[in-house]
Structure 1
Amino acid sequence: MKPLLHELEFDRVLTLIATEAKSTLGKDAVSRRRPLSTLTACEGAQADLADMRRFVHTEGLLPLAGLTDVAPLLARETVLELEESWVIVRAIRSTQAMRETLTRIDRFPRLKTIAEAIPELDELVGKLNKFFTRDGKLREDASSELRSIRQKVQQKRNAVQRLLNDVMNRNSEAIQEPLIVLRGDRYCVPVRADHRNSIPGILHERSGSGASVFIEPMQAIELNNDLADLLLQEREEIARITRFISQLIVDAADDVLLATRTSGELDALQACAIFADSVNASRPSFNDDRRLHLIDARHPLLDERVQTTDQPVVPVTVELNGAMPALIISGPNAGGKTIALKTTGLLVAMAMSGLPLPAADGSMIPIVDAIHVLVGDDQSVLEHLSTFSAYLVRLKNVIARATKRSLVLLDELGSGTDPEEGAALAAAVIEYFLDRGALLIVTTHLSSVKSFAMNDSRVVNASMEFDSATGQPTYRLISGIPGRSRALEVAQIIGLPSPILARARERLGTRYVEVDQLVSMLQNKMSNVLEQSAELEKRQAAVEEERQAME
C-alpha cells in the first residue's frame, strides 16, 4: 500500500508528526506507521493514542532524556569506548525511567502494558553506575586497582615537582622562568639557551623563539620513569575496565535493544498525542460493514494550526455506506475536489495507522484492505504513453486489485479524451466498482457522469461550492447536488474577451443555461440550509452550556 499512500502525501504527514518526537528512535517509529489490517488492531492503536493523550494532559511528558538508537553501537564487533558505553548507559536509564513512570500508575492500563514490555534492567544500571560520574567520566574509584594507581601517580608527581623546584632554586640564573612543564609526559624545566650546560639532563625540545630549551634534569629521570610506568599501568587498567563495561553491555544487548525500541514506540505515541492536540483530533470508531463518515474532516497539511498560514482550512463531511457506496464530486477548477478526495483517503489511512484523526467527534472509519488512488498526470515519455493512456494503465491495475473491502479514489475519471467517450467509460467504471462492492469517490467535470449519478440510488452527487459574488470557490463540499464547472465564469474573471464568452454561451444554448441556472439555485438553497443548520447547532450548544451551568 506504500506507493498508493505516497499519492495521498501520507509520508509528508508522518514527517510532520515525527517532528514532535524527541529521539531518532521515536521519529523512526512514526515513519514506520502504516494502516493496520483488522478492526481489533485499529481500535487498539487508537486506544493507545487516547491513553497517551490523557497521560500527557495529566502527568506531562515522558522522561525521554538520553534515549537514542544504540543498535549501531551494539552491532559492532569491537570493544565499546567509554564515551560509547556512556551513551548506552544514558539510553538504558531513560528506558528504565519510562518503565517506572508508566508501570506505577494504574490509570493508563494500555501504556502500562506497553511499558511492561521494556525489560527490567535496574541491576545492570546499578553495576554500570559504579563506573561513571554524573557527566559520564570514569570514576576515580572505578576499581580498587585504579584508585591505588592514581594515588601513586599523584604521589610520584608531587615528588617530581618538589625535586624540579629544588633544581630551579639552586640554578635560578640558568632558568628562563620558574615553571615546570610537560614534554611528552616527562616533567622538564625551561633553561636559557645560553646556559644549556648548566643543568645536566636530557634536552626534549627547544622553544619557538629559540631562547629556551626544555631539559629533564638527570636527578628527575628515574622519578619520571616511575611516573611513566604508573601512567602506563593506569592506561592498562582503564582499558581493562573499558572492556569489562563493554562486556556487561554486550551481554545484555538483546534486552537493551528491546528496551530502547519499545521506548522509541512510546516516544512515537507521545508525538502522535502532541500532534493530536495541535489539530484538535478526535477518536474515530471503526467498522467492518463499509460505513465511512468523516465529519468536518481537515487535511492536516493545510491546517492553519500546523502550517504558517492565516487562511483557515475548510472542513469537509463525507459519508458512504453499503447502500450508497459511491460519491461523485463535481465543481469548478481549483475548487477543492481533489483535496476533498485526497483528504478522505488520507484520513482513513491515518486512522487505521493509529494516527490522530483531524475530524469531529462521531467520525466512523471502515476497515479497508487497500486504498487505491489515481490522482494527477502520470504521462510516460519513455513508454510512449499519453496522459490518458497512462491513466488507463493505472486504472487497469486498480480494477485488477480492488476488492469489496477497498476504498477507490479516482480523480478526473474520464477526462483527457473525447468527452462523450470519456463519460461513457467513466460511467462503466463506476458501475463496475459498484457491482464489486468497493467504496468509491470520483471527481469529474463531465455532465453525463453527473447525470448518471442522479439516476443511480447507490451514488451520491456532491459539489464544491462557488461564491458567485466574489468569483471564488469557498471549498465547501455540499452533498446531494451536482456541481457546476463554471468554465465561463472563470474565463470571465481571468479576462478572456467578451465576444468569445458571448459566443460560447450561444453555443451552449438556452436549455443548458436554464439547467445551469437551476443547479445554481439549488446550490444556493443548499448553502443556506447548511448555514442555518450550523447556526442552529451553535445555539443548541449554547443553550446546553447554560443549562449545565444552572444545574
Structure 2
Amino acid sequence: MIYPQNFEQKIGFDQIRQLLKEKCLSPLGEERVMDMNFSDQYETVEEQLNQVIEFIRIIQEEDGFPDQYFFDVRPSLKRVRIEGMYMDEQELFDLRRSLETIRDIVRFLSHNGEENDSPYPNLKKLAGDITVFPQLIGKIDGILNKYGKIKDNASSELARIRRELASTMGSISRSLNNILRNAQSEGYVDKDVAPAMRDGRLVIPVAPGLKRKIKGIVHDESASGKTVFIEPAEVVEANNRIRELESEERREIIRILSEFSNVLRPSIPEILQSYEFLAEIDFIRAKSHFAIQTNALKPSLEREQLLDWTMAVHPLLQLSLSKHDKKVVPLDIELNQKQRILIISGPNAGGKSVCLKTVGLLQYMLQCGMPVPMHERSHAGIFSNIFIDIGDEQSIEDDLSTYSSHLTNMKVMMKSCNERSLILIDEFGGGTEPQIGGAIAEAVLKRFNEKKTFGVITTHYQNLKHFAEDNEGVVNGAMLYDRHLMQALFQLQIGNPGSSFAVEIARKIGLPEDVIADASQIVGSEYINADKYLQDIVRDKRYWEGKRQTIRQREKHMEETIARYEKEVEELYKSRKEIIRQAKEEAERLLQESNAKIENTIRTIKEAQAEKEKTRLIRQELNDFRTSIAESTLKEQEDKIARKMEKLREKQNRKKEKKQSAPDEKQQSSLTPAVQPIAVGDYVKLKGQTSVGQVLEINGKNAVVAFGSIKTTAKLERLDRTNATPQKQETVKSTFVSSQTHDQMYEKKLNFKQDIDVRGMRGDEALQAVTYFIDDAILVGMGRVRILHGTGTGILRTLIRQYLETVPGVRHFADEHVQFGGAGITVVDLS
C-alpha cells in the first residue's frame, strides 16, 4: 500500500518516470515505464534488480548487443487480425526489422555461456520461452528489398507489369522527344524546353499562342499563364496505358501483402507475446542507463524490514547539482529492530526534508526494481506499506486546513500501519498551537511505536526529542550545523537530538539584540541553557568523532608501516642467508685451490732435492698466494669502486668540455663568413627536391629557374645552391613525383562528387564553378559527370554548353534522361 495517491509526486518519483521514458527506444518501453509499480515481494524485487544489474554489465562489457530496431507494430498486428486487412510496405518493413531484433536478442542471451553457467542468468530466463520467427523473416525478405520496397520478383505478375511499365514509359519518352524536336525545328517550342510531368502524365510546355500548333490535350498551365502543358495526341493512349499498368501494379502489391497477412494471421498472438518481451528489454535497458548515469547499484537485499544505508544520494538532487559542478552530501542512516523510528531535529533549511525525501524516494525506487545510488556495503529491506505526510495539504474544496489535513493523514497511518510499514512525516505536529500540537504528536508517535512501525520523522518539538530518549525503538537524530560559520552541514548524525539554533540564526540575520534578549527572557533561561548544552553536546561529539577517525587512520598507517618493516626484515634475513651461503661456497673453492697449491709446492721441493734457495723461493711463492687470496675480495671491491669513480670523473669532464666548447662554437659561428647570395647562372635545387636547375634571372625575392626545358619562378628562400649539374639530375628530374602529390591526388579522387548544382547562380559565377569542376574531373580521371542548371530561361544551360564545346577533354554532352531531370541536367562524357 502506498499513501497518499500523490505519493510519487511528493517524493519526486514522477520525475524519475519522465527521465526513464526519455531513455526508452520505443513506445514499447515507455508503456512499461508508466506501468511500473511498487512491489513488496522479495523474489520479484530481487529478480528485477538482478535483471538490471546484468544489463548494466552488458552495456559496459559487451559490444554486440542487438538494440538497433525497437519498433512498435502491435497496432498493425491487431488490425491485421481482422480478415481482409493487410499491412502496408512500411509496417511490414518495421515488422521484419523488429522480429530480427527479437531473434538476435534471444540468441544473444541464450548462447552466452553454458546451460548452467550463463553470465546473465536472469535475462536468459526472461528470454527462455520467447518464440522467434525465422520463417516469417524469410518470407518478408522474399517480398521486400533491403530498403523496404516491394521487389520486382515478389511475384511473376508484378515482374511482368513492371517490365511493361518501363517499356511503355521508354516509348513515351522517345515519342515525346521526337515531337519536341520537330516542334523546336518548326519554332513552336524554345530550344531549351524539356518534357515535364503533370498529374502523372508526360507533357510538353508550350507558349499559349502556339498551343494549337501541337495536337493534344491541355492539362495545365503555369501560375504566370505564360506556359501551357500539352499532352500530344500520339502519347495519350500510351499515357492511359501507364495509368492502367500503375493500377494493376497497385492491385498486385495489395494482393501480395494480403496473401502474406493471411500467412501471418495465425501467428499474431505469439508475435504479440514476443513484443511484450521486446518491451521488457527496452524497459530494463532504460533503467540500466539511468543507473549508470546516477552511479546506482543493487545493495544487499534482505527479507526483513531494514534500512542500513551508507553514502545514499538523492538522484534528482545529484543530477541537478552536477550541472553546476556541485556534489550532494551523502546520507548515512540506519533503522533496525532496536531503533525503528528516527526523530530528526535541527535548524530550518538544514536538510531534514531532503533527508526524509531521500529515504522515501530510494526505498520506493528499490521496490520498483531500480538500483539506487549508495555504497555497495549498504543493506536494504522490503516494506509492505509506505506512508508519507509532507507539505501543505490545505484544501479549500474540502474545507480542510493544513493541520486538519495532517490529522487526516495521521488517522490513516495509525489505522493501516504495522510492523512491515514505513512512515515518513515532515514537521510532525506542526500547523497548530505548539503545546497541544506537540502533545497530539507525542500520543500518535506512541501508537506508531507500539505497532513496531518503522519511520523517519522531522520535528522541532522538545517533547518528541525527550520521548525518543525515554522509549525503546525510537532514536534521536540531528542535522548538523556549524555554529561558527553559521551554515548547515547537511549531515545526519544519529544518537542525539539537534538544536534549532533559533537564537543564533536570529542573530545572524540581524535581529536587534534587545529583541533576542527579551525573547530569551520570555522562554526562560532554563530552555536557552538546555538548547546551548544540546549544541555543546553535538559539537563535542563531532570533535571526538573527528579525533576517533584520526586515531583510526593513524593506527591503520602504523599497522601498514609495521607490516612493511616486517617484510623488509624478512627479506634482509633471506639476503643474509644467501650471502653466507655464497661466502661458504667461495671459501670452499679457495680452500681447494690452497690444498692444490700446497701439494704442488711439496712436490716441487722434493723434485728440487731440498735446495735451500729453491725452497726459499717456493715458500715465498706460497706466502704470496695466501696474501692474494686474503686480499682478492677487497681488491675486487676497490677495483669496482675505482671504475665507477673513473666513469663519474669522465662524465663530469665531458660536461665541462661541453660548457667550454659552447662559447667557442658561438664565437666560431660568428666568425663564419655569410652565405653568398644566389646569382644568375648558379645551379640550384628546390628545398626537399633533387632536380637541378640554372638561375636565368632574379627579380627581387624571386628567381626564374630553368629545369631542363621547363622554366619556373620560385622564391629565393626556397632555393639551395648546388655543385651538381642539370645533366646529372636530368633523369631524376623528369620522373620525379612527390609522395605528397600522390596522396593529394588520391584524396581528391576519393572525395570528388560527380554532380554539381549551379542553379540560382549568376552566369559568370556558374561558368567559373563549372570550369573548376570540369578541370578537377579531368584531373582525377572521371569518365562522366552531371551539371544541374535547371530549365528556367535557358541562359545557364546555353552558357555552360558553349563553354563545354571549347574544352578538349570533353568528348560528348547531352540532356539527362527525361525521367531523371531531362533538359534541366547536362550529362558530360570526358575522354
TM-score normalised by structure 2 residue count: 0.62
What is the alpha-carbon distance in structure 2 between the residues aligned to residue 544 and residue 245 of structure 1? 76
Greater shift in the superposed pair: 426-435 or 296-305: 296-305
Q: Is the 8 A contact 1:304 1:312 kept in 2?
A: no
Provide the residue aligned with 2:146 in structure 1: 134
Letter in 2 for 1:324: Q
1:106-137 per-residue CA deviation (whole Å, 9 max, x = no partner) reads 22121122223432122211211222232322
Match of 1:176 in 2: 189
CA distance in 1, matches of 2:244, 2:68: 41
Amino acid aligned to 1:113: K
Written as runs of structure 1 = structure 2, the 5 A alignment for 1:91-490 is 91-106=98-113, 107-171=119-183, 172-177=185-190, 179-304=194-319, 307-490=322-505
Q: Which residue of 2 aligns with 1:41?
A: 44
Once residues 560 and 199 of structure 2 are traced to their aligned partners in structure 1, the CA distance between those partners, rounded to angstroms, is: 81
Q: Does 2:92 align with 1:85? A: yes
CA RMSD of aligned residues (A): 2.8
Deviations 1:268-308 (A, max 9, x none): 21222222223222322233332221212111111158752
| Residues 257 and 534 of structure 1, relative CA distance in 2, 3 Å threshold | farther
Evaluate the alpha carbon distance shift between residue 347 and residue 529 of structure 1 in structure 2; reply closer, same or farther with a 3 A threshold.
farther
Shift of 1:424: 1.9
What is the CA–CA distance in structure 1 between the aligned matches of 2:472 and 2:296, rounded to whole Å? 33
**Per the alignment, do residues 13 and 161 of structure 1 end up closer, same or farther by CA in structure 2, a change over 3 Å counting?**
closer
1:494–1:460 CA distance, 2 compared to 1 (3 A):
same
CA positional deviation for 1:212: 4.3
Cα distance change, pair 176–483 in 1 and its aligned pair in 2 (3 A): same
CA distance in 2, matches of 1:479, 1:449: 15
In structure 2, the CA distance between the partners of 1:545 and 1:216, relative to structure 1 (3 Å rule), is farther
Deviations 1:162-203 (Å, cap 9, x if unpaired)? Answer: 233333344431541453333333333344544434333333
3-state SS, counterpart of residue 442 of structure 1:
strand
More deviation, 342-351/182-191: 182-191
CA apart distance, 1:143: 2.1
Q: Percent identity?
A: 32
- Conservation of the 8 A alpha-carbon contact between 1:408 and 1:440: yes
- Following superposition, the deviation at residue 484 of structure 1 comes to 0.5
SS in 2 for 1:485: coil
Q: For residues 548 and 306 of structure 2, what CA distance do their matches in structure 1 show? A: 23
Matches within 5 A, 1:59-74: 59-60=62-63, 62-74=65-77
Q: Does the 8 Å contact 1:176/1:212 carry over to 2?
A: no
How much has 1:21 moved relative to structure 2?
2.7
- Conserved in 2, the CA contact under 8 Å of 1:285 and 1:363? yes
Going from structure 1 to structure 2, the CA distance change for 1:195 and 1:12 (only over 3 Å counts) comes to closer
Distance in 1 of aligned mates of 2:31 and 2:558:
47
Q: Over residues 202-253 of structure 1, what are the superposed CA-to-partner deviations in whole Å (9 max), with x where a residue is unaligned? A: 3333444545443333333333333332222112112222333444555433
Give distance in 1, aligned partners of 2:553 and 2:298: 22
For 2:492, give the aligned amino acid: L
What letter matches 2:35 in structure 1? Answer: R
Counterpart Cα distance in 2 of 1:321 and 1:464: 20
State the SS of the aligned residue for 2:194: coil
- 2: distance between equivalents of 1:31 and 1:542? 52
Counterpart CA distance in 2 for 1:212 and 1:9 is 66
Q: Residue 56 of structure 2 aligns with which residue?
A: 53
Q: 1:227 to 1:332 in 2, by over 3 A?
A: same
In structure 1, the partner of 2:29 is 26
Checking the alignment, whether the CA contact within 8 Å between 2:30 and 2:283 is kept in structure 1 is yes
Could you tell me how far apart the structure 2 residues matched to 1:225 and 1:376 are? Answer: 75
Which amino acid counterpart does residue 45 of structure 2 have in structure 1? C
Asked if the contact 2:180/2:189 (under 8 Å) is kept, the reply is no
Identify the range of structure 1 (2-11 vs 415-424) with the bigger mean alpha-carbon deviation: 2-11
Aligned equivalent of 2:571: none
SS of 2:153's equivalent? Answer: coil
The CA distance in 1 between the partners of 2:172 and 2:67, in whole Å, is 48
Contact 1:294 1:344 in 2 (8 A): no
Contact kept in structure 2, 1:74 and 1:253, CA below 8 Å: yes
From the superposition, tell whether residues 164 and 419 of structure 1 become closer, same or farther in structure 2 (CA, over 3 Å).
closer
> 1:530 offset after TM fit, Å?
4.2
Distance 1:414 1:262, change over 3 A: same
| Count of aligned pairs | 550
The residue number in structure 2 matching 1:507 is 522
5+ residue gaps, structure 1, are none
Give the TM-score of the pair, scaled to structure 1: 0.92
User: How far apart, in 1, do the equivalents of 2:560 and 2:160 lie?
Assistant: 75
Q: 1:223 and 1:537, CA in 2 relative to 1: closer, same or farther beyond 3 A? A: farther
**Do the aligned partners of residues 128 and 461 (structure 1) sit closer, same or farther apart at CA in structure 2, a change above 3 Å counting?**
same
* C-alpha displacement of 1:69: 2.5
Q: 1:532 to 1:272 in 2, by over 3 A?
A: farther
Amino acid at match of 2:273: L
Distance 1:205 1:340, change over 3 A: closer
Q: 2:506 aligns with which of 491, 500, 504?
A: 491
With 298-307 and 46-55 compared, the bigger mean Cα shift is at 298-307
Which is bigger in relative contact order (C-alpha 8 A, separation at least 6)?
A: 1
Report the alpha carbon displacement of residue 445 of structure 1 after superposing the two structures with TM.
Answer: 0.2
